[in-house]
Every structure is written in structure tokens, then in C-alpha cells.
Chains A and B, each alone.
Chain A
Amino acid sequence: MGKIVGLTGDETAAEAMRQINPDVLAAYPITPQTEIVQNFSQFVANGVVSTEMIRVESEHSAMSACIGAAASGARAMTATSANGLALMWEICYIAASYRLPIVMPLVNRALSGPINIHCDHSDSMGARDSGWIQLYSENCQEIYDNLIQAIRIAEDKEVLLPVMVTLDGFIISHAMERVEILEDEKVTEFIGEYKNPYSLLDVDNPVTWGPLDLYDYYFEHKRQQIEAIEKAGEVIQRVGKEFKEISGRSYELMENYRLEGADLVIVAAGSTAGTVKAVVNQLREEGVKAGLLKIRAFRPFPVREVSQALKNAKAVAILDRSVSFGAEGGPIFLEIRSALFEEAKRVPVVNYIYGLGGRDIGIDEIKAVYKNLERIAQTKKIEKLVGYLGLRE
């Protein structure tokens, strides 16, 4: 039997990593990720994991060490937040293009400046084009479940791509919740062993990693990456089903929460989805046909599934916890609005930017969004395409 424990998001991530027992962990501390690595280093000190822990001098080095380790055939992990991810930037692209299945919890935090340590999604959204798979977690349980599945997804022969599992800084990373932990053996068996077909250390079969790749082949290698991340969609679904067999919890690319017959739909990712669910339940009791579409996989983006889920809605609001400066709306909004373009019927869609730098979002703000959706559904008029939720004028 597994066990039920009270853990913070960071402790949950560390617990999942203890069970994964990666060969190498290279990390540098940054708020609010610090407790993940702090807890994990305790496991290393206590000898409950056999991980080689590399204390690096920066996140740039952390990701570089992970690349070296993964290329040599080791299962490598790291964890970071915000500016740490920004410092890893160029190496993140290299990890993806070398097709190394590194798994990294990313504790979402606002990017400086002005300097801020609280949650928004500007860090992960900034890395959306790096070639990494991105899975967003709503709560501690999902962090645990996503991390274990991420190993399988990343290392799938058809994928071979790095995965970041996000959790909202402080809101989830430092809040304690009830988490169901599987037996160690079950996790070990589920994730299996990582076998890189081309190990740097295999001296009998030497290969060259990282050669210059010019106009004659670079494009073809990018096409391979496109193929892999598209395939990842199916693999995420398949692994989600298999995970249900050992945990009882199933996972899709996204979660449809009370979407059947829903007229007014909010789309959200991360912890806010939990708050939206509470509002949906209240409104449903009042007879309002409210629903939630929760984005789990943002990369690959489930275009068909999303438009399928939203095409019959009367009005849709997309909540973005980050800004794409100079674009008309946040990253999730742009993606969904584009996905809906293929639908014969025009669904009215609006965008709300919210929660930047950890600005709280509560029941009242979300209710106000549903109120606005109600108005849009009645009048068929969008007064403001992109709004700001919880911002002082």
C-alpha cells in the first residue's frame, strides 16, 4: 500500500524525485525552488537515494551537467525557478535539440525586474519555444503524479525530449496538502530504466555529440523535434492511462471540469484552476452553466482537444498568468484563439491577464469573469478583448 501524507509542493516534488532516484541531480538553489533541492540533498545525505548530486555554481551549469549526464546514459534531473530558468536558457534549447530526456520541476515565479519572488508563469511561458514538453500542475498531488509520468514521457523512444513539470511558486510550492504517495517499488517498476542508445561512455561504439549543424541539416533536425513533440501528445495520453492502473488517477492532455453542457467556460492552468473549480461548483448550484477547461500540457498544445472542448460554449475566458509584451493577449489566449479559428461557428473568446508577481486571485475575481461571460453570451458583444484581473487602475 502507498501512503497518505501532508506535504508542501516542494516536499512533494522532492518525494517524487526520491522515488525516481535519478542517477544525477545537478541544481542551484533559487526561491521558491530551494526546498526541493534542500529536501533532496537530505535524501542524498541519508543515503536513501543513490543519486550523484552535483552542486553547481549556476543554473547554466546545472543544465549543462544534466546534458553531459544524460548523454552518457544517466537519468538526470534538476529543478529551478524564474531567473534560474532564464540563466539556463541557451542550455535548455540544447537539451531539447540533443533529444535528452531530462526532467525538471519548475516552480513558477515572476521574472525580474522589478525583482519579485512570487508566482506567475512568465518563466515557463518564456521557455515555451525551447522544445521542452510542459506539464502544468494544479496542486501537490498533480506535481507528484506529473513528475513520475514525466520520466516515462521524456524517455519514450518516440519522444526523447526534456519535460518541465510546473508548480505555482509559494501558492503550491510552500502550501501543505494531502498527497497520496505510491509504494517505492511501484514507482520503480513504472518508470523502468533509462537506456540511451548512444552513450558518451560507450567506448566500443563511439559517437559524436554536438557537432556543427549548418544550413544543410539543421532544418531536418528541427523537423525531427517537431515530430517528437507532436508524438508526445499521444504518449502523454498513453502514460496517463497506464498511470491510472497503479494510482487510480488518470490524466489527459487537459482536464474538462463540468464542461458538459457548459455555456460559460474559463480556461486556466496551474493552481488557479482549483479556485475556478470552486466557483464552477457554486455557479452550477445556482443554475449557471459554468465550466472549466484546465490546461495540463501546454507543450505540446492539444489544439484539437481544446477546440473540441470549447466549440459549443457561448463565451470563453482565458486566464493568462503571464504577458507576451506587444502581443494581443497572453500566450494561452493566443494559442486557443488560433485553435478556434478552424471551427465553423465563431465562439466569443476574451482574455484576462492576472496574478502577475504573485497577485492573489480569489473567488470574487473569478465570479466577475463568469459575470462578464454571461453578458457576452447574451449580447454577443465583446467590449474588451484583453482585460486585467485584480489590477488597480
Chain B
Amino acid sequence: MKEKGWKEIPLGGLILEAGNAEKYATGGWRTYRPVRDEKKCNDCLLCWVYCPDSSIIVEEAKIKGFDYEHCKGCGICSAQCPKDAIEMVEETKFVLQEKGEQ
């Protein structure tokens, strides 16, 4: 979401649209990224139940992945997973990968 200037936003910090938290990306707060091993996962959905940020994407009772725009990297999913299928990987690793520095 492109950040707006001071003339474009509602006064007093008001949010005029109900339920728009989804449009506000907060994934940037994350220092660890949950990464799921599909082979270990049995789609028990426990991670989905426990995630405090509704960041486990489920389609037709199957885990599709993570909503990295909103996942804060708290690690709860990883701690709850009975199959040990979610590994918490440091974000710096991905940043370096993107830069091609490994």
C-alpha cells in the first residue's frame, strides 16, 4: 500500500473504513519467517487455529502457505505444529538471497 501524504488522510488518525486492517501490511515487523515443509505437514490445521494474526492461508482444508504481508514471525505456529513441519528462518537470510549475496 502506497503511503499517503498528510493532506490525503483523515483527521485525528481516524480509520473511516471498517475492517481494513488487511490492507495495512505489517509483515515488515518480522525478524523470523515461518517456512513449512510440505512433506512433513499433514494439514491438521493446528497452526491455522493458533496463529494470532490469521496469517496461515487455508484453502479447502489444506494449508496453502503464509500471508507474509501480515505474519509477525512470532513462531507460535512452529511451536504448536505436532509434525515439526514449520521452521523459523531468520529474515536476513532472505534479504541476502534477494540481493544475491547468500
Contacts A216-B3, A217-B3 given; indicate if A98 touches B13 (C-beta within 8 A).
yes
Q: How large is the interface on B (under 10, 10 to 19, 20 to 34, 35 or more residues)?
A: 10 to 19
The answer to the question of B100 belonging to the interface, with a C-beta cut-off of 8 Å to chain A, is: no
Q: In angstroms, how far is the closest chain B Cβ from the Cβ of A85?
A: 22
Q: From B24, which residue of chain A is reached at the shortest CB distance?
A: A216
Q: Which of B3, B4, B9, B13 contacts A211 (CB 8 A)?
A: B13
The answer to the question of A207 belonging to the interface, with a C-beta cut-off of 8 Å to chain B, is: yes
The answer to the question of A206 belonging to the interface, with a C-beta cut-off of 8 Å to chain B, is: yes
The answer to the question of B18 belonging to the interface, with a C-beta cut-off of 8 Å to chain A, is: yes
B15 touches A207 (CB 8 A): yes
Q: In angstroms, how far is the closest chain A Cβ from the Cβ of B9?
A: 6
For A223, the chain B residues whose CB sits under 8 A away are 6
B11 touches A160 (CB 8 A): yes
Contacts A223-B6, A224-B6 given; indicate if A217 touches B14 (C-beta within 8 A).
no
Q: In angstroms, how far is the closest chain A Cβ from the Cβ of B7?
A: 8
A210 touches B11 (CB 8 A): no
Q: CA–CA, A227 to B3, complex, Å? A: 20
A213 touches B13 (CB 8 A): yes
> Interface residues of A, CB < 8 Å — how many?
22
B6 touches A97 (CB 8 A): no
The answer to the question of B96 belonging to the interface, with a C-beta cut-off of 8 Å to chain A, is: no
Chain A residues 71 to 124 lying within 8 A of chain B, measured CB to CB, are 97-100
Q: CA–CA, A29 to B101, complex, Å? A: 67
Chain A residues 206 to 243 lying within 8 A of chain B, measured CB to CB, are 206-211, 213, 216-217, 219-221, 223-224, 227-228
The answer to the question of A198 belonging to the interface, with a C-beta cut-off of 8 Å to chain B, is: yes
For B5, the chain A residues whose CB sits under 8 A away are 220
Provide the main secondary structure of the chain A interface.
Answer: loop
For A98, the chain B residues whose CB sits under 8 A away are 12-13
Q: Which of A100, A209, A221 contacts B9 (CB 8 A)?
A: A221
For B10, the chain A residues whose CB sits under 8 A away are 198
For A228, the chain B residues whose CB sits under 8 A away are 11
A221 touches B12 (CB 8 A): yes
Q: CA–CA, A209 to B18, complex, Å? A: 11
For A219, the chain B residues whose CB sits under 8 A away are 6
Q: CA–CA, A3 to B12, complex, Å? A: 40
Q: In angstroms, how far is the closest chain A Cβ from the Cβ of B5?
A: 7
Q: In angstroms, how far is the closest chain A Cβ from the Cβ of B27?
A: 13
The answer to the question of B61 belonging to the interface, with a C-beta cut-off of 8 Å to chain A, is: no
Interface residues of B (CB under 8 A from A): 3-6, 9-16, 18
* Contacts A208-B18, A228-B11 supplied; 15 other A-B pairs, CB < 8 Å: A97-B13, A160-B11, A198-B14, A206-B18, A207-B16, A210-B13, A216-B3, A217-B3, A219-B6, A220-B4, A221-B6, A221-B9, A221-B12, A221-B13, A227-B6
Task: Across the A-B interface, give the 4 residue pairs with the lowest CB-CB distance, nearest first.
Answer: A220-B6, A208-B15, A99-B12, A223-B6
